[in-house]
Chain A
Amino acid sequence: MKKVIAIALAGAVGLAGLALTNFIGDNRPVLKVANWAEYIDGGDEDSPLIAEFEEWYEAQTGKKIRVEYCIADDNETLYNMIKMGDHFDLICPSEYMLMKLIAEDRLQPLPDTFYDASNPLNYYINNVSPWILNTFRSNEILGSPWSEYAAGYMWGTTGFVYNPGTEEKPLVKAEDVATWSVFTNADYYKKITAKNNIRDTYFTGLAMHYDSELRTEQEKYENSAKTANDLKAYQTALSTLMNDTKAATMDSVKEKLMAMTDNLYGFETDEGKSNVISGKITVNYQWSGDAVYIMDEAQYDEDGNELENPVYLHYSIPETVSNLWFDGWAITKDCKDENIQAATMFINFLSRPDNVVRNMNYIGYTSCVGSDTVFEEFVLANYSAEEDDETAKEYDLNYYFNSAYNQGDDTTKDPKYIFYAPEDQFTRQLFAQYPDENTLARCVAMQYFDYDANSRANSMWSDITFF
């Protein structure tokens, strides 16, 4: 018996050695990509999309490439990896980390050829949603628009996944989760969770702190003609409020957050998903993509069939303000000139509409690409109502898919992007993936904290999280 084991072990070692020599013998140039876990079709480094990209790249350019695909846990880990000297060609950080990396001069601008729409292989610029394009052009960091450094991958909002319960046993009222004060609402004592990180929680605190200011701004906007300029003014005002890190503000935010912690079940990163499905908590502050995952998980089994006891969870974006976030592809300063083409082609390959649909079906987040293929094969395929559904209502996604659409001008709308969706989808998966235009008007991005604000935020965080 021992002999058998010994032989088996020796064989295993030999095989490992073979694999290793194979690996070393592979002399293709390497494109090193960092992304989040489970953030590409089929999983991580063994995603079929990566192998397909290598083939596609060779077919287009005649050159070989090997993608080394790395996983980073979160933005902070990715940042520490880069700071410690890990070299990546292409990374996919969130907007605030992009800003921090740009400010620290760790990224290089995307080449001009990337935005050349006349090249049919430039799938990104030819298919990106007009709304995303506009957002990436109008948001600036140190005087240059985001689009100069980053190409959008996935995006979303933050909001509440909640369990409305059943008719006999109602749990969460929709109007309660429409406001940020749900965090201090005694009806949800120990039934609600917040996010276990400084930024999301600080945003929560700011939203509670500036409640009346936010409502004033909203009223102003509601009473305006809602032109593109009105929207811009509204969002600038919101953005200023929601990026306030002055010491005095932070102190009052801390008070607000301290007052809410006792009501919370706790601060979580991942545990909240299973807890809201199991019913241990009824309100879970969550990122929209994970919200979709949770709602699917509570309703369907692995094969997509309805569960025996499905739970219908909903998603709500607070009525005053919410956080808008993006993950975008960016090329680092470490990327050598000969790799830039491969890096941009990787972004373009992932932006090819058929690949986008595959990615979205797997990941559950919303892609920044908004072409007709995505609209038909993803949005309509997943969310259009059955013909005999009498509750179905019109859902308008012109702002996201129609590049001819002008904000506030109904005549530029194309009826093709207005479709009938089941009523419940207005507060469920569809809404979480593609919020309506009006809701998105009140969603703003949050900047990175500078050194001073970061130190103060950290000590605020220690005070809040120490029970």
Chain B
Amino acid sequence: MTKAKPKLRFSRKLLAIPYALFLAIFVVAPLVIIVYYAFTNGDTGEFTVDNFVNFFSGTGGQSFFESSRFKTIVQSFFISVMSTVLCLAIAYPVAYIIATCKVKNKAGLLLLFIVPMWVNFVLRINALKELLDWIGIYNKSDEWNIFNTVLGMVYDFLPFMILPVYTTISKIDKSYLEAARDLGAGGASAFLKITLPLSKPGIMSGVSMVFLPSMTNYVISNYMTFNHTKIIGAFIDECFKNDLWNLGSVTALLLLTLMFLITWLTGGFDAQSETNARGTSLW
């Protein structure tokens, strides 16, 4: 056995190569390209920070904070927050019930929530759109458009919230709860003091999996609102479509920074939450 050990280590390192390659080609390289375009002039290709200056200076005599660009960011942020909160509000009770119920076939129950993901999401969004049209709230007003966008995001991203939350709750050691009961805690306070804090890593991981895509998934907002409600992803797409790669790259880079900040502020990089969430952050 002792002989086999170094060999095993060696092969483990080898196992990381595919992922490292993947990372280099699909994560690092595009990032480098984005940074390159963010700091060069689109016409001459020279180094410049003008793209950032342009991004933050308003258009047509308006300041940045009055510009449609800023409003788009605020709007995406609002949609994102709303979608995340709603997803959590729906997903947590569901996950909690499945994790704690006495049914034998929990996997089967869980499957009910995952099966919709097997249908292509554009199809599902289209179906939802037709449904809203039939009810009569599709493309009615700006307020309804925002509502419909949030609805589409929640519809699409709900499983991404249910799964990590379910995994953490089901992994909570039952003896903690029993101890709490023994020491006189009621159901509610046991939940608030034991289950909720211990399921935090699952919540965080669910939040990041819903929040980030709902800032940028413009396919949903475009379909759900007849291209009315604009989110930051749609703006980036337009930049690249219209041969303004530099402005698009700047926006993408700023969005990335914003996401990094949010993750950092919510403790996404904490060593502690890392250990707690081990195995759950990837469900």
Contact = CB atoms under 8 A, between A and B. Distances in A.
Interface residues of A, number: 26
A463 B243 contact: no
Given A463-B60, A466-B68, A466-B230, A76 B235 contact: no
Contacts of A254: 60
A410 to B, nearest CB: 46
B226 interface: yes
Nearest to B42: A451
Interface string A181-200: 00000000000000010100
A271 B239 CA distance: 22
Interface in B162-204: none
Contact of A466 (B72, B240, B243): B72
Interface in B3-60: 42-43, 59-60
A76 B227 contact: no
B228 interface: yes
A455 B247 contact: yes
A324 B238 CA distance: 24
B229 interface: yes
B145 interface: yes
Contact of B242 (A268, A458, A467): A458
Given A268-B227, A462-B68, A466-B68, A451 B242 contact: no
Interface in A58-86: 76-77, 79-80
B258 to A, nearest CB: 18
Contact of B243 (A76, A196, A265, A267): A76
A455 B69 contact: no
Interface string A69-105: 0000000110110000000000000000000000000
Nearest to A73: B241
A266 B72 contact: no
Q: Size range of the interface on B?
A: 20 to 34
A465 interface: yes
Contacts of B42: 451
B247 A271 contact: no
A459 B229 CA distance: 16
Contacts of A251: 60
Nearest to A450: B43
Nearest to B41: A451
A355 to B, nearest CB: 33
A229 to B, nearest CB: 37
B243 A266 contact: no
B81 interface: no
A257 B209 CA distance: 38
Interface of A: 76-77, 79-80, 196, 198, 251, 254, 265-268, 271, 451, 454-455, 457-463, 465-467
Given A267-B226, A466-B71, 16 more contacts: A76-B243, A77-B241, A80-B240, A254-B60, A265-B226, A268-B226, A458-B239, A459-B60, A460-B60, A462-B59, A462-B69, A463-B59, A465-B227, A466-B68, A466-B72, A467-B228
Interface of B: 42-43, 59-60, 67-69, 71-72, 75, 139, 142, 145, 226-230, 235, 238-244, 247
